[in-house]
Amino acid sequence: MKRIISIVLITCYLTGIRLYTQTSTNIGEIQVLANFYIPFEKLTAEVEQENVQAEKTNKELYKESDILLEEVPELGYSYSPTTGGDTYICYKDILILGDDVYRYVNGKYIKTDETIQDMLGIEDNSLYYYRQYRNIIVACNDEYFLLYDMDTNLSFNYLNQDDESSSSLEWYLYDGYLYYKRLEWNEIKRIHLPYGEEQVVYSGKPVRQFAMRGDGKILCECWNDGWNNGMAYYLIEPDDNGEWKEEEIWEDEDRWEYVEWFACNQYGLFLVAELSYEYWHSIWRSEEVIIRENGTLENFDIEVKGGCSLFLDTGCIVSAIPYSREMLNEDSTHLLVRRASGVIFYDYAGNILSTHQLVDPKILQDGYYMRKLLYYDGKITALYTQKNTGKLYVAQVEAERVQ
């Protein structure tokens, strides 16, 4: 299978794989990094003509329309809360991108002096992750949840666990519920956001981690027959009576010493695994695989190069990065990998299905870089902000073939 994609791993400590995070502006070092990136034009040329999106005129493609953005529900239950780039929250005239708060005024999003921490009244220095369900922002710092109502501008609930201490708390928002578990727990709970009712969804086996899918099913990784006998993978879903049932889809039988997830959707669970000693080969000690719902494994080659990527049920959207001498001279590595003028859509067999130009590459030379990549309601949306000013540029194209 082709080694096909450049992805952002929000968790960059995968065994055997390292994300290059050099931030030096030394031209020699940046030139070496840039050589890893294939220009967008070259990739476009490789796509079969019938699969390439019809080119728009410059006037149509590069004129920013007055786009009113909307909530993307999938971000509430995606495996990583920052998948595809920075945190994204959108409600009425409010847009939150990373820590920055924008307001929609006269057809444009204008950056304010406020931060998301200011809005929520957060004063401590803890690392928070944020998700949205309609008018509610949920913030979590691995110790507690803070719920904030964007209609009333009030923080109206803390979900404390007074008798618990943990350095890890997994959580998702799906269909009005907050699903969560702590590292020490062998159970998954959920809380109904409007009314605060709590119930246990799953318990019994030692749960290592879990993820939500778009169809409401939960994929759960459990230690198999105790803590030292490999892992098993289950799909959990409610039956017609509302009772949660489990179905085992795969068991590793001590094949893996350690695993790290980087995506989960209805296509499968994407992970990197460190092989147990008896499975080592002379030249490799880890593997990249997809666990499918039917119990099969698919090999999956990963190249970590930065940029923005979205793992969808049908394939992967990857930002395409052109570079120029001007960018190499003035950009840090962090910004260089976000200078993307378009995206490429791959299937999970490694085939390029379509390419989509988002902005004129000249805008990148004006200091804009991609902050967020989204796919929702048949459209690819990319949010660009200008270095130093924070000015926002919204690019959006129809992309029904991605579905």
Closest Cα partner for 390 from 75, 99, 61?
A: 99
β-bridge partners, 315: none
pLDDT at 2 over 80: no
Tell me the percentage of the chain whose pLDDT exceeds 90.
49
pLDDT mean over 78-95: 94
Grade residue 11 by pLDDT with cuts at 50, 70 and 90.
very low
Q: Are 154 and 148 in contact (CB under 8 A)?
A: yes
Percent of the chain with pLDDT over 70: 74
As a whole number, mean pLDDT of residues 18-37 equals 34
Long-range pairs, 282-287, Cβ under 8 A, ≥24:
285/16, 286/15, 286/16, 286/17
CA neighbours within 13 Å on the CB side: how many for 130?
A: 22
State the average pLDDT for the chain: 80
Distance of CA 208 to the CA centre of its chain: 20
What pLDDT sits at residue 63?
52
- Tokens representing 366 are 């004006």
Q: What contacts 258, CB < 8 A, 6 or more positions away?
A: 15, 273, 274
Q: What is the pLDDT of residues 179-213, one digit of tens each?
A: 999 877 788 999 999 888 899 999 878 888 999 99
Query: How many C-beta atoms surround the C-beta of residue 71 within 10 A?
Result: 17
**Residues across the chain:** 403
Q: Which two tokens stand for residue 332?
A: 């840090």
pLDDT at 349 over 90: no
Q: Across residues 92-117, what is the average pLDDT?
A: 97
pTM reported for the whole predicted model: 0.83
